[in-house]
Amino acid sequence: MRDVAIIGVGCTEFGELWDKSFRELFVEAGVSAIEDANVQGGKIDALYVGNMSGGRFIEQEHLGALIADYSGLASLNVPSTRVEAACASGGLALRQGILAVASGYHDIVVAGGAEKMTDVGVETTTDALAAAADREWEGIMGATFPGLYAMIAKLHMHKYGTTQEQLAAVAVKNHHNGTMNPKAQFQNEISIETVINSLMVADPLRVFDCSPITDGASAVVIAPAEIAKKYCDTPIYVKASAQASGTISLHDRPDITTVDATVAAAKWAYKMAKLKPNDIGFAEVHDCFTIAEICAIEDLGFVKKGEGGPATESGMTAIGGKIPINPSGGLKACGHPVGATGVKQAVEITLQLRGEAGKRQINGAEIGLTHNVGGSGGTAVVHIFGREK
């Protein structure tokens, strides 16, 4: 296996982008990534694209071919593969790209993710997202995604004393980080009161505890580490790539408040990178709901089980805190175009490690982690990146 590096990144703005089509979005993200890497199109050996539900959102499947074609790579017959794992589709596409380069099968690979969620009404969007849970045994019983995460939150509060204010603190922090990200869907500050007085979706989760519906695309260019410096001054090295499965239904999970797929993927990633949770400088984690970030920082080993709420409230996870979480604004404020999210997380880590994150720059960032989850925990992907091999 070869060492692998990210040599270029690109991302569209995230938001309700009614004037942009799916194909315009991924071309924009892909072009900015290959321009950043200073790579010619003819050098690209393969494409991997994360997308959850093109069939439902834009009534279009066969997205690999569409993307290759509209990126001008069909004439070169470049292989292009769509990867799906619900909200973890992007993280998985990134991992497929990394594996393809690490194995020696391909040299220059573009891994991207794209989702166009606002071409259909919110009912269709909600129903398409619900397909990430078990349709036959959760959906038919009236389970919604906020409902599933609300049940996690309810039990977390019951077992560990986590409060509504601690959940809200996740949203407040991520909105604050979003104010410093020009690509974020929400760039406004909110207060604890805004969150806890907002519309109830599924008790105890309110609208401001939930990530939004978003259009957007992101892409990275991956190359073997030994030639990375030919393309860029500061390649960002992949120190670990790990993926784990869990039960598709929340009710089958051994502990409702622990995403065991995250625990497993993190364990393997730390082992691969020869690092401990303490060595990680900052992370982009999967905060599809505020409770998800609290569980994530626990399951990734940054704090003990049950201490995610107080840790967030204390400012430990803010930029400038002991371990900044979601400097991009996370899914909550930057937005959550489901297939693009996992790749966007790697884009943010790369910008931070290069020192190019602008106002939200974390000082002295050397090692960053990404954590992407599909559904209520059926899939988890963890990557660790560093400035050094």
Partner 1 sequence: MSVPRFWRRIKNLYNLIGTHCEKCGGFFYPPRNMCPKCRRNGIVNPFKFKGAGVVVTYTIVHTAAKDYAKLTPYILAIIKLDEGPSLTSQVICDHSQIHIGMRVKSAFRKLGEESDKGMIYYGTKFVPMEEKA
Active site residues: 87, 336
Q: Which residues 6+ apart lie within 8 Å of 99 measured at CB?
A: 241
Q: Residue 383's beta-bridge partner residues? A: 241, 370
Q: How far is the CB of 150 from partner 1 (least distance, A)?
A: 4
Contact residues toward partner 1 (CB under 8 A) are: 123, 126-127, 130, 134-144, 146-147, 150-155, 158, 199-205, 249-252, 256
Measured from the CB atom, the residue of 142 and 320 that comes closer to partner 1 is 142
* Inter-residue contact 312 to 173 (CB < 8 Å): yes
Q: How far is the CB of 110 from partner 1 (least distance, A)?
A: 36
Pairing of strands 109-115, 46-50: parallel
- Token duo for residue 320: 């400038």
- Token duo for residue 110: 């573009």
* Spatial separation of the C-alpha atoms in residues 273 and 159, rounded to whole Å: 33
Q: How far is the CB of 378 from partner 1 (least distance, A)?
A: 14
Query: DSSP labels for 1-59?
Result: ---EEEEEEEE---B--TT--HHHHHHHHHHHHHHHHT--GGG--EEEEE-S-HHHHTS
Neighbours of 363 (CB within 10 A): 9
Q: How far is the CB of 254 from partner 1 (least distance, A)?
A: 10
Q: Which residues 6+ apart lie within 8 Å of 96 measured at CB?
A: 48, 81, 83, 111
Measured from the CB atom, the residue of 101 and 256 that comes closer to partner 1 is 256
Helices (H), the chain: 22-37, 54-57, 63-70, 89-102, 122-130, 145-160, 164-178, 192-196, 225-231, 260-273, 290-299, 308-313, 330-333, 338-354
Measured from the CB atom, the residue of 105 and 137 that comes closer to partner 1 is 137
Q: How far is the CB of 183 from partner 1 (least distance, A)?
A: 28
* Spatial separation of the C-alpha atoms in residues 257 and 295, rounded to whole Å: 7
Q: How far is the CB of 145 from partner 1 (least distance, A)?
A: 10
Measured from the CB atom, the residue of 144 and 234 that comes closer to partner 1 is 144
Measured from the CB atom, the residue of 203 and 226 that comes closer to partner 1 is 203
Q: Residue 221's beta-bridge partner residues? A: 8, 110
Measured from the CB atom, the residue of 57 and 302 that comes closer to partner 1 is 57
Q: Which residues 6+ apart lie within 8 Å of 154 measured at CB?
A: 203, 204
